[in-house]
Structure 1
Amino acid sequence: MTDTITSLRDDLKCMLKKEEVEQLITNIVTSLMNKIEQSMNNKIEKLVSEKLVEVQSKIESLDYDNKNLKDQIKRLKDKTSTNVKSMNEQIQKTYELSKLAHMKANYNEQYSRKNNIKILNIQENSDETEDSITKAVTQILKNHADVDLLVTDIVAIHRIPTKRGQTRPVLIRLRNNSSKSTIMQKRTPMKNGGFRLVDDVTKPNQGLINRLLLHPDISSV
């Protein structure tokens, strides 16, 4: 028994105490946790690094696209500016050509009326004809201006529109300018007889005449 007890005591001395076992377990667990944490950190760093590289690549790609877009916008802006300038030049050129064409058209139209005369205040009849108008005009010129206007000197004669309620003027196209000058020299006696002799002018020229008449320093146009 004594030997057995002694042997048991020696065996017990060789066994770990409870505190030592707990410490050993704690150390083992701590070591394992550290290894796991290190492994997790390594994996996280790897994933973060990979994602960072991916994001950086996308950022570089976006920067590249952004630069291309800026270049395209600049080219479009320069092209648009050039086109706008060209269009403005063409519009100005077209305007000048249109203005010149209008002036020439007005000049040509006025030139075509150079032998025309308008006589105002000739009484209008509902049943009048070209012959009756011709007879009335020649009689008026004879009585009030002492002008013998031959029928052969008249190329055309008719009334033209005027404002509502007013007597329509008589337009006469004469064969030559000499006949017109002879008649226009009799403006004063015709006016004294209640009639007016005026040139047949285009609408733009009539507008110019009306504006000039509004000037305080101009008495006649």
Structure 2
Amino acid sequence: MAADPAKYFSANKLPSKTKGKSGKEPPNKRTCSELSDTSMEELNLILSDLDEIKIAMKNTVTKSDLTDVVKSIVKEMLDQYKKDTEDRIESVEKDYKERCGKLEDKIDGLCLEVEHLREVLAQRDAAIRNLTASLDGVTRIAESAHQKSNYNEQYSRKNNIKIYGMTESRDEDTTSAVCKILKDCAKVDLTKDEILAAHRLPSKVEGATRPVILKVKNSDIKSRIMKQRSTVKSANKGLRLADDVTYLNSRLIQRLNDHEEISQAWYFNGSVFAKPVDSDRRIKFDINDDIAIKLRQKNRRPSNRNPMHR
């Protein structure tokens, strides 16, 4: 809209005559026609400026235009972002479904494999139980056979006597030497007919005197000799009579003597006995017995048996 010239002039008065720096008027004064021409030129210039301002105002973007432009740009950006996001979500969803499908296939395969392994494991468990039962049976049979073998070996030695510390001489008659030493030290008269065998055994220590194993006809002869073993020991230092005990029974006696709850262990008439530290009871042990368990069982259930002791 064009500006009103009257209003423009009322608001912006034309410049008035000014004095010089000295306060005096300029020496040359313009005429009225010159002033009129100057005013018209200025008016024309002002009108020209107003036209340019009007044109510029027409070409100037308004606030609403800017708002519309920004809205349009933002909408376009949001639409593009939405489209990109949707494409990306669609791609991720597709990839997720593919991976889920592969994982489901793997899980199905693993489930089948697990079921197969469970069946195999169940079969193995059954086989192990059968083998364990068989092993327990075989162990019991082996222990029983071991026990019976030791018993039979000990029974075969029931009439044997070991003589330790008997002086050894070159080309000795062992049977005659045994009869002589028993007569001198134990006051026991033995004939050669009562002796089935008498010979030296290998010594565990090289150069030491070898023990003698004496086998008599029956247990009565052995009992008659063994009753005098304390006499033999006191009559001849170093000479000692002992039962011929099997290796397994010897180890059992050693284990019993080493046990902290056992005060004494010994062999008598084919069996091994021991006496607990805190009791006068005498307990019979076998080579397969667990000493601690056997002692606890005897403590819970006292035995009325009173076997002979040494």
The TM-score range, normalised by the shorter chain, is 0.5 to 0.7
1:134 aligns with 2:175: yes
> Which is greater in Rg?
2
What is the aligned counterpart of 1:80 among 124, 127, 141? 124
1:1-221 → structure 2 map (5 Å cutoff): 66-125=110-169, 127-129=170-172, 132-164=173-205, 165-194=207-236, 195-214=239-258, 217-218=263-264
What displacement does 1:212 show? 3.3
1:1-49 per-residue CA deviation (whole Å, 9 max, x = no partner) reads xxxxxxxxxxxxxxxxxxxxxxxxxxxxxxxxxxxxxxxxxxxxxxxxx
Identity of aligned residues (%): 36
The residue matched to 1:114 in structure 2 has which SS? coil
After TM superposition, the structure 1 stretch with the greater mean CA deviation from structure 2, 158-167 or 107-116, is: 158-167
Q: CA 1:218–1:181 in structure 2 vs 1: closer, same or farther (change >3 Å)?
A: same
1:178-207 per-residue CA deviation (whole Å, 9 max, x = no partner) reads 111111111122111222110000011112
- The one-letter code matched in structure 1 to 2:181 is I
Runs of 5+ unmatched residues, structure 2: 1-96, 267-309
CA distance, structure 1, for counterparts of residue 201 and residue 135 of structure 2: 38
Judge conservation of contact 2:253–2:265 (CA < 8 Å) in 1. no
CA distance, structure 1, for counterparts of residue 254 and residue 122 of structure 2: 48
Which structure has more relative contact order (CA 8 Å, sep 6+)? It is 1
Q: Normalising by structure 2, what TM-score?
A: 0.48
Q: Normalising by structure 1, what TM-score?
A: 0.65
Runs of 5+ unmatched residues, structure 1: 1-51
CA distance, structure 2, for counterparts of residue 157 and residue 175 of structure 1: 12
1:64-99 per-residue CA deviation (whole Å, 9 max, x = no partner) reads 655543332221011011111212222222222111
Paired position in structure 2 for 1:4: none
CA distance, structure 1, for counterparts of residue 107 and residue 165 of structure 2: 85
Q: CA 1:213–1:166 in structure 2 vs 1: closer, same or farther (change >3 Å)?
A: farther
CA distance, structure 2, for counterparts of residue 219 and residue 60 of structure 1: 71
The residue matched to 1:124 in structure 2 has which SS? coil
Aligned length: 166
Q: CA 1:168–1:92 in structure 2 vs 1: closer, same or farther (change >3 Å)?
A: same
Structure with greater proportional helix content: 1
CA distance, structure 2, for counterparts of residue 175 and residue 219 of structure 1: 28
